[in-house]
Structure 1
Amino acid sequence: MTVALLMASPALAQDQGQQGMDHSQMNHAEMMQPTAANPYAPSEMKMHEQMMAAAGADAGETWIRKMIEHHRGAVDMSQIALTNTENVDVRREAQKTIDSQNREIATLNAMLRGMGKQEQ
């Protein structure tokens, strides 16, 4: 049975012993609208799209490129947190996340350079 068929029919996937949710009734446009309580949806979608598009010549390079986008997503979300909360503890952790994720991005880009690849 193909993955496409399983994805097209959640009930069939359940019958085949596959676990999963039926997302067909979800309102994705509504979920993407930022709110005061959850301003992260556009950033999350951007990260998801960038991770899905990231690819390299082999599994190692692809992993590096996907992780760079993952870390960039963490930076974006942390910047949103800094903009949208006055909570001192959250702000401190968000800034620590920005700093650590930017270091990770630099390390991963250095790995790409070491492989003779273009930075991302």
Structure 2
Amino acid sequence: MTRPEEIELRIVPVLATLALLATPALAQQAGHQGMNHQGMDHSKMMQPTAANPYGPAEMDMHQKMMAAKGADAGETWIRKMIEHHRGAVAMSQIALRSSQNAEVRGEAQKAITSQNREIATLNAMLRKMGKPAQ
């Protein structure tokens, strides 16, 4: 039988390690929750530039993913993934317009095709579940 002091000797280092690992994440979360987001214009942080024209598309995708909800975890996942794939399409369309690199443009076109295929598959799953497509 293990004595209580032996258990304590085993548990304390584990708890100390967990506390050290969790502290940065907890501090970051606490700091973010304590921030006043009223009056912040996130769109200014996402202004497109020649080197990074994707900000508005990323923000749109993020907002739509956060808003996507279903009746259960499976439906919610499908709806969030549809918005994720739509975001990839939007970013790929920007790459087609903005990049002169033939290889980038080719991959962007392939991404548009594959992401649209994924969106169709996910919408078919919703319809099969008796849910409206999005």
Q: Secondary structure at the match of 1:17?
A: helix
Q: RMSD of aligned C-alpha atoms?
A: 2.2
Number of equivalences? 105
Computing the radius of gyration from Cα coordinates, the structure with the larger value is 2
Name the structure 1 match of 2:11: none
How far apart, CA to CA, are the structure 1 residues paired with 2:77 and 2:24?
Answer: 26
Structure 1 residues not aligned, in runs of 5+: 1-13
Name the structure 2 match of 1:52: 66
TM-score calculated relative to the size of structure 1: 0.80
Q: How far does residue 38 in structure 1 lie from its aligned partner after superposition?
A: 0.3
Residue deviations 1:57-98, cap 9 Å, x none? 000000000000000000000000000011000000000000
Q: Given the alignment, which residue of 82, 85, 92 partners 2:106? A: 92
Q: Secondary structure at the match of 2:23?
A: coil
Q: Spell out the pairing of 1:1-120 with structure 2 (5 A cutoff).
A: 17-19=23-25, 20=28, 28-120=42-134
Which amino acid counterpart does residue 17 of structure 1 have in structure 2? T
Structure 2 residues not aligned, in runs of 5+: 1-19, 36-40
Q: How far does residue 31 in structure 1 lie from its aligned partner after superposition?
A: 2.2
Q: Secondary structure at the match of 2:90?
A: helix
Q: Secondary structure at the match of 1:94?
A: helix
Q: How far does residue 30 in structure 1 lie from its aligned partner after superposition?
A: 3.9
How far apart, CA to CA, are the structure 1 residues paired with 2:102 and 2:119?
Answer: 26
Percent identity between matched residues is: 70
